């Protein structure tokens, strides 16, 4: 009866599209599942799936699992097959998105470059929408290869933006990434189409294993989904146990829900903050958030140019405002202040400061004055994106950073300005994006950067260094919005080199207030739920009696032990700072 209930729930979930909404007219395959077979039963399980009409996508011998599409009506029989351990949805994974970028300075990468550590020899794998390899800021960056065919192209720009934050070349054009040296990138393309769309957990596992096989020690995953997968969790734990550091986006829901793979213990979950080190309102908050990094108005590389501006022979990074007329104009540059009303701007390109009225009203004032184009620059540091809405005037309108706008106002008035909003879909584009997707490559880039100083360090050592040297933000110690805080490349490197790294929490406060309760479902015991006050350690060990049942897990303040004891059996639990037997919580005892 219990087994039938599980299968009915699985069938219902598939039928109702529980994978999430798709970005295309054709959504995710509703019949796609993970099938975990019992050890030694691969051949029998495979034959059973073939007999059921299954279509195979992946075979993972190390996980004793297949990813298949199988008719929903066949699930009942397959679930009762003695060679099959369990069946679960192959859940969907989505991309998480919305000069020297401010984030590079905020994570203190230049302080590491000054020590001669620039990422040389490191290999980072980016699992995303591919990369626009022809971009000017990737010339000279070693692309070690990728998968599948077409990995070196990018139809939506998300993967290129992520890769640029990690590795854009220091070449006097565009932007610079966290690593400026001879870092290598391996690219696995799991998203495609104009909107990136979606992929599956099995595709992600296959991608991550390809990363490891290519020799990558750091994997960047600016993606995620709302549903966990036992097989996917096992796969990332295997990668971590084999020395790989996986880093993923915490999610952009602005809530406390978990996103996966970020919320697996073996994966670093990254939250987003802005240039003022404030938590981004869209960034998810939960007990798996481990680190925070810049994720608001992050400037990086994209395949397309929505607009271009050249003033007095020099190009400036701009973006076309949504709804702007697509066209080009060239004329002398004039200062329009905040363009609050019409002015004497006939036949001129007008420089407008952001503020007081809408972008559309500024553009209309320029057009009604005979201006041929409008450049709206920010009234706070950095760039921005915006919209003109409907009824925009027939002139090109672009946005620009405060720094560039103020420079033009002070130095280039009267010079020829050429503005174009005609898109180029295979150009050397740059754009400001928001999202935990943008925060994640800052952490992946820093991990690779400091690891390049000593390839002999382990993934656990790199992870520990990033956590204990992070700048504590929000509540003291770890919290659900910032995790351990903003990563600091120079402090982490110093910590690893034995210099202490400016550890903001040199006194380790052990876990405390441990409580435990027996979990039940439909009258059956299913395990034990533990919760505690985290203290200041980044990772902890969980003990059941004298046995360590969880080693070095993220100190999120909770853990579920799947142990089911005998009737009236009493079991004692304790949580200790990783690798310590003295810095521990109180002991608690439960009775089954």
Please list the active-site residues: 128, 158, 437
Helices (H) and strands (E) in the chain, counts: 13, 31
SS3 92: strand
Sheet (strand 199-200) strand order: 199-200, 92-95, 223-224
* CA atoms of 224 and 259, how far apart (whole Å): 6
Query: Taking the CB of residue 100, how many other CB atoms lie within 10 A of it?
Result: 14
Closest CA to 249 of 440, 103, 444, 487: 440
Specify burial of residue 101 (Cβ count, 10 A radius: 0-12, 13-18, 19+).
buried
Closest CA to 261 of 221, 217, 295, 206: 221
* CA atoms of 345 and 277, how far apart (whole Å): 40
Q: In DSSP terms, which residues pair with 60 in a beta bridge?
A: 65
Specify burial of residue 114 (Cβ count, 10 A radius: 0-12, 13-18, 19+).
exposed
* Both tokens assigned to 406: 């103020």
* CA atoms of 22 and 219, how far apart (whole Å): 25
**Torsion sign over Cα 134, 137, 140, 141:** negative
* CA atoms of 575 and 275, how far apart (whole Å): 36
Task: Identify whether the C-beta of residue 557 lies closer than 8 Å to the C-beta of residue 550.
Answer: no
* CA atoms of 576 and 83, how far apart (whole Å): 39
* CA atoms of 570 and 590, how far apart (whole Å): 6
- CA distance to 46, 64, 71, 75, 307, per residue, from 41 (Å): 8, 9, 22, 18, 58
The crossing angle, in degrees rounded to 10, of helices 436-451 and 158-167 is: 30
* Both tokens assigned to 212: 């490891």
The crossing angle, in degrees rounded to 10, of helices 230-241 and 201-213 is: 10
* CA atoms of 372 and 347, how far apart (whole Å): 6
Q: Where are the alpha helices (DSSP H) in 256-370?
A: 359-368
* Both tokens assigned to 38: 């019992």
Specify burial of residue 568 (Cβ count, 10 A radius: 0-12, 13-18, 19+).
exposed
**Which helix (H) or strand (E) element contains residue 181?**
none
């Amino acid at each position: 009866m219990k087994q039938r209930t599980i299968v009915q729930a699985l069938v219902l979930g598939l039928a109702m599209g529980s994978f999430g909404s798709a970005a295309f007219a054709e959504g995710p395959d509703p019949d796609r599942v993970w099938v975990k077979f019992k050890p030694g039963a691969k051949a029998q399980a495979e034959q059973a799936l073939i007999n059921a009409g299954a279509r195979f996508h992946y075979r993972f011998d190390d996980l004793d699992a297949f990813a298949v599409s199988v008719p929903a009506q066949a699930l009942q029989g397959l679930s009762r097959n003695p060679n099959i351990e369990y069946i679960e949805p192959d859940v969907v994974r989505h991309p998480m998105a919305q000069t020297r970028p401010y984030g590079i300075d905020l994570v203190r990468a230049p302080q590491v470059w000054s020590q001669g550590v620039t990422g040389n020899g490191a290999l980072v794998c980016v699992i995303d929408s591919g990369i626009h390899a022809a971009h000017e800021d990737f010339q000279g960056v070693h692309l070690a290869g990728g998968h599948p065919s077409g990995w070196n192209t990018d139809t939506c720009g998300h993967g290129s933006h992520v890769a640029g934050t990690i590795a854009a070349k220091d070449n006097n054009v565009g932007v610079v990434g966290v690593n400026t040296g001879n870092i290598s990138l391996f690219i696995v393309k799991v998203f495609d189409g104009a909107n990136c769309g979606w992929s599956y957990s099995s595709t992600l596992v296959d991608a991550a294993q390809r990363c490891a096989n290519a020799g990558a020690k750091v994997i960047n995953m600016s993606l995620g989904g709302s549903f966990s997968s036992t097989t996917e969790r096992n796969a990332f734990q295997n990668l971590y146990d084999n020395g790989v550091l996986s880093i993923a986006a915490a999610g952009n829901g602005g809530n406390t829900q978990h996103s996966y793979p970020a919320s697996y213990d073996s994966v670093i979950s990254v939250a987003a903050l802005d240039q003022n080190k404030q938590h981004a309102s869209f960034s998810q908050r939960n007990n798996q958030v481990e680190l925070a990094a810049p994720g608001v108005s992050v400037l990086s590389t994209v395949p397309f140019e929505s607009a271009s501006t050249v003033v007095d022979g020099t190009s400036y990074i701009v973006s076309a405002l949504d709804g702007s007329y697509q066209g080009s104009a060239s004329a002398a540059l004039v200062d329009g202040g905040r363009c609050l009303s019409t002015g004497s701007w006939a036949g001129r390109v007008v420089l407008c400061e952001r503020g007081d009225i809408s972008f559309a009203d500024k553009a209309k004032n320029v057009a009604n004055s005979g201006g041929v184009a409008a450049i709206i620059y920010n009234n706070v540091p950095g760039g921005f994106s915006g919209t003109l809405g409907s009824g925009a005037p027939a002139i090109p309108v672009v946005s620009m950073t405060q720094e560039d706008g103020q420079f033009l106002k002070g130095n280039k008035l009267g010079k020829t300005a050429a503005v174009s909003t005609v898109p180029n879909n295979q150009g050397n584009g740059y754009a400001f994006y928001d999202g935990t997707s943008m925060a994640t490559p800052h952490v992946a880039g820093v991990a690779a950067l400091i690891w390049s100083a000593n390839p002999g360090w382990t993934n656990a050592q790199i992870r520990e260094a990033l956590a204990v040297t992070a700048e504590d933000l929000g509540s003291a110690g770890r919290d659900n919005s910032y995790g351990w805080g903003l990563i600091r490349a120079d402090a982490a490197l110093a910590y690893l080199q034995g210099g202490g790294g400016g550890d903001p929490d040199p006194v380790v406060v052990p876990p405390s207030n441990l409580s435990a309760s027996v979990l039940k479902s439909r009258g059956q015991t299913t395990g034990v739920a533990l919760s505690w006050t985290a203290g200041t350690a980044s990772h902890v060990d969980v003990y059941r009696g004298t046995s360590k049942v969880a080693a070095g897990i993220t100190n999120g303040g909770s853990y579920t032990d799947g142990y089911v004891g005998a009737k009236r059996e009493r079991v004692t639990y304790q949580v200790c700072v990783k690798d310590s037997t003295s810095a521990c919580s109180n002991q608690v005892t439960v009775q089954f």
